Structure 1
């Protein structure tokens, strides 16, 4: 089996492609008429059947021809190109993506031009996990909650910004592995470092550190730096007076699902919208309340989708604190702006596009890259094959063949997203001459 191509080769390949593309004028600007030209790559696509492995992982990438991608010839790719263009402000800063992003920005938004763009400049790579090409595709959306910007008889549940006593401390590889006692210094608002001269003692064994943790989140108590509050503690009032309140939701259950989705919109009685985006989290791992509810016999596992959970919680308000508290993870928000037709800002730093963006495991799929997903539509129960763009992440999204499909905002998108959990296959599209690599 071949090894992953060196960074040196990848950069050289990308530079060659950039030089060639910059010398080739396009035939039409964006919005132009029939497009008969098309960009040409300085490098040929990788021949089908080449296999690359991920160091220390069970993920494999196998190069393919576009003719091997399900229903590729029947795809409408205009919106796929639009979603990719939206991510190029961030992705285009990377050397290996500069040339294709420059070309994307001047490619007309029509299906013919989009097809030539993807087919001429990219190679599909099919992903597999532990020898299987099949993985799991779930869905998420941007909820719209009812509430207000100030507390009322209906709007009673606070939506918090980052607390004033919340401190994020970067974690080195050595600290993550060895753990033990360290000293922490608070260096600024919500920021700290591990330092031998730090004023506070921290026991890293007390923090929820995993092999992917890049920081610890905590607070100062006396001369100790301790883990930040859990969801159960925050719901019980631990943040009173310690965090800015951005708005108030009418419904605690809807607010819980806002935390799961990571962003949303709150509509006030006057019809105004407050857009809420992810700001930070308490760094506790996400735990499924669905699994807990099924284990307790509250709901059959088959009914623990979003709609089933919401209905049960509203029928059993006395169990609300118990069930919600089973997920210790808690998200803090910030207010954001954006066009009405654009989704929230994803982990890439670009706005998500409804039905054309997705959350992935960035260790195996590079953020900003196009991915072709072959799965099943959760309502229509028929094949749903589409070229979308990896522009977001999620704590529950782990593995190569693992996609969380962004459906847009509002109740209709939530209806689809809440019922989506289907097998699927994934092809990663990379610029010709650029091979897959592990993202630390």
Structure 2
């Protein structure tokens, strides 16, 4: 989920052209239409908004960022200068979760810490695709060439760290280092959860990250082969410019905020925009969040990934989230009226 701001802007420009040809409606709502609006802690949303709004260059957004930096009453600020915009097409709303894993590791190998995180070799940057996951992990190409960033104690957790794309390594001293996405081998991602369903081991509704991890650990030989089913392999880089206590970098190249950042489809939702989330299902909540990240699986105007934070507890909460609801984007007033496709009443 880590991209530089310019790359995210380019993605938005390309995707917006596609979205423009679809049957998408933009309807302005009132703040009274937002379920639970009066009961949120708007100050938390304003704090998250201030992390990324200085990078928004459009005059509509930059002027609002300047006002936000003057420490206004948060709820009043959003109500005075934004209008809620419901953006919809034929797809149903879906909320899922993501998190930043934290693994136990070391900066040198040992009997416990045996599984390396690699930086990307130069040859992998020009060869597309390069070696498969199986070839990288069982061959000799990477050995002894200084590609290792750190070593961890659990190959299954390392596999899921690659899926998340970023995380922290907790060293024996208690110090933590952060790693981020540093490239890939160019092979397509293949879901091992789907493969477990295909084999008849689980039903689709039973599969989750925790279920997969437990199955692989209970079946170490078959589990290793299952991980090789996914030929895609992610390389990492040290992210030392971000303090370990801060959140990982999102698509805007700024730290994301637990339970206030969402990943969105930038074809429909501008990066940096406040978004009102009404999540239904188990443990429902209504909350003002900020669109500060993207993801390859996040497609459509009513699709979002909620960032839960770092570590095991955040991972379990994120893995359980797969619920319907509604999301409403807060747009600057002039922009809201300019893009509305239905008459404002």
- Report the TM-score, using the length of structure 1 for normalisation: 0.68
1:252/1:58 CA distance change after superposition, 3 Å: farther
Partners of 2:176 and 2:244 within 8 A in 1: no
What does residue range 118-137 of structure 1 map to in structure 2 within 5 Å? 118-130=78-90, 132=91, 134-137=92-95
Report 1:34-433 matches (<5 A): 54-91=19-56, 93-108=57-72, 113-130=73-90, 132=91, 134-167=92-125, 218-219=126-127, 226-237=128-139, 239-241=141-143, 244-337=147-240, 338-376=242-280, 381-433=282-334
Residues 343-388 of structure 1 show CA distances to partners (whole Å, capped at 9, x for unaligned) of: 10111111000110011122222211111111147xxx23211111
1:284 and 1:328 in contact (8 A); partners too: yes
What is the CA-CA distance between 1:227 and the residue it aligns to?
Answer: 2.1
| 8 Å CA contact 1:90, 1:350 repeated in 2 | no
Answer whether contact 2:215 2:223 (CA < 8 A) is retained.
Answer: no
Inter-partner Cα distance in structure 2 for 1:336 and 1:147? 16
- Cα distance, 1:372–1:292 mapped onto 2, change above 3 Å: same
Q: Deviations over 1:255-296 (max 9, x none)?
A: 111111111111111211111122333444433221111111
Larger Rg: 1
C-alpha displacement of 1:89: 3.0
Decide whether aligned partners of structure 1 residues 286 and 227 sit closer, same or farther in structure 2, where only a CA change above 3 A counts: closer
Question: Distance between the aligned counterparts of 2:210 and 2:264, measured in 1?
Answer: 24
The gaps in structure 1 that reach 5 residues or longer are: 1-52, 168-217, 220-225
In structure 2, what is the Cα distance between the partners aligned to 1:101 and 1:395?
28
Contact 2:105 2:153 in 1 (8 A): yes
TM-score by length of 2: 0.86
Which structure has greater helix proportion? Answer: 2
Say which is worse superposed, 322-331 or 62-71, in terms of deviation. 322-331
Query: How many Å separate the matches in 2 of 1:160 and 1:129?
Result: 41
Which fold has the larger relative contact order, with Cα–Cα distance below 8 Å and residues 6 or more apart in sequence? 2
Which region of structure 1 is more displaced relative to structure 2, 365-374 or 350-359?
A: 365-374
Contiguous gaps of at least 5 residues in structure 2: 1-17, 340-345
Contact 2:129 2:187 in 1 (8 A): no
**Aligned-partner SS, 2:229:** coil
